[in-house]
A and B are shown apart, each in its own frame.
Chain A
Amino acid sequence: MKITIASGKGGTGKTTVSSNLTAYLAEHGKSVVLTDLDVEEPNSGLFIHGKIKYDQIANKMVPHWDSTDCTYCGDCANVCNFNAIVALSDEIIIHPELCHSCYACSELCPTNSLPMMPERIGEIKVFETENFDFVEGRLDIGQEMAVPLIGQNIDYVDENYDGYIKLLDAPPGTSCPVIEASRESDFVILITEPTPFGLNDLKLAVETMKVLDKKIGVIINRYGIGNNSIEEYCKDENIPIITKINNDKAVAQCYSRGELIYTQIEHFKNSIEEIAKFLEGIR
């Protein structure tokens, strides 16, 4: 079972919930793996302290110019729809950061002068704790496209953790990285807070998940602050509220230190238990 934890708005508690939930499930004997798909700013690893057991460089495929047989016909630049290739009369210039790895330039080149070669975009690391593994994707700084790395992360987890509960900690927002992090999941948990920002961004996230045809549930974090607009919205939309996590400065303080929270704060542990129970029910 694959579950994505997403949010729309940033800073609502995705990482807090996914790291605590993973540790809780593992402690209760479940085979569970966590992967951090917020590859631009991965920080689940700040809360989970494991030993590194594997790492690999993540690449994307981009064309490399081989001048030997090139006739400078310019077809490559013409077929590239992402402006990643400039064909001059004596040189072909490639902008790898704009390349979407569609292979058109390479495969349509009449002289095979643009072989596709791997180029580093980031890395994937696997950490081992006492009772679960944690897989982290980390985009190199200056790289624009998170999607290929997110996809490779999910592939790695799929290949190596068959039969596990897979928790996917998604990036914030509603655009391509979130879609990549959610599209193959069985269920998407949306975490929000009871404020107008939380509601606005929850609605955007819900609409996105509808387009993807995903089953969803909502967690209200910092419950008690703000207003009850989220509950009303979920009721109108028939979206289950999985749990409400009480607003509590002590939770924020544990988080600030990079500590797991459910082992320290009772009401938070109860919420994690409710999430675990809810997930039992959707299987």
Chain B
Amino acid sequence: MTSHATISIEPVGVRWQSMLPPLAVLALAGLGLLSSDYVVTVLGFAFIYAIFCTGLNFFMGYTGQASFGQSAFAAIGGYGSAILCADYGWEPLLALLFTMAISGVAAVFVGYPTLRLRGHYLAMATFALGLIVYEISIEWTSLTQGYMGYSGVPPLGIAGFDLVTVKQQLVALAVVALFGVFVAARLRQSRFGRALASIAGSEPAARALGVDIARYKLIAFVIGALYASAAGSLFAHFVGFISPEVFGVTMVVQSFAMLYLGGIGTMWGPTIGAVIVSVLPEALRGLKEMQDIAYTAILIFILIFAPRGLAGLSALFKRDRAQTREGA
């Protein structure tokens, strides 16, 4: 299934408009610092998902492929960090980097045969990957402790300095999320990014231009896995506990909602989607049992009126302004 992602033609270069999203992220983090631990927790999860979705956007948005299995790499990152830190006393940052490397290698081994598939077959294969890792996390109790979960995962820390409070961790998560988007933006504007865009547009055309499609797809898949692994590790450190439910189908559904709501194929769409999908249910919490209905109704409303996601709205307004000028 080739997703119908449209790579938006966002302007390259530093203009004042391009500074708005990172400033918004920093403002959100600042708001969190002035708020209760509840708000901090919601924003923390939003930033973790922003990292996850930014990686997923590489494969689904920039490359136009479908993957339902990124949660598998988040599970590798989460369990890897939990086990290495809680049982073997590793430094959280070292464990995070190490599990990213493990996830990257796993993505190469899995991706090499899997990415030969296309369309629905690729979607099914990646979905199976997610389910397999989920089952392993339940059944391999000697390693993962199954549904009992892994407790006592230490908070994030660097060189012996632990980020003990959730507010300190929120700052770290905001910085990592911004760094993740920055790296994604740089890669997207590179030769490599243009190759991915050509694959998303038309594989035969890209092949005719000399793009090694299998290789580029694999690299995009591995990059997505690295981001997912980092998100899984950060989740484990942020909450201090992980269990298989965290990396189940809910994670896949939620990340897809974030990606499409924010704007698949756009630079800031995943972050915008992650923040909206994380914050919106909390804003509707007062509705009690009607919360889920109101939440999904709003999501549907947004997707109807902003089918290219919220990040695509700016392009829409620009086009309207241009048409008005032409008309004048």
Question: Do A and B bind?
Answer: no
Interface residues of A (CB under 8 A from B): none
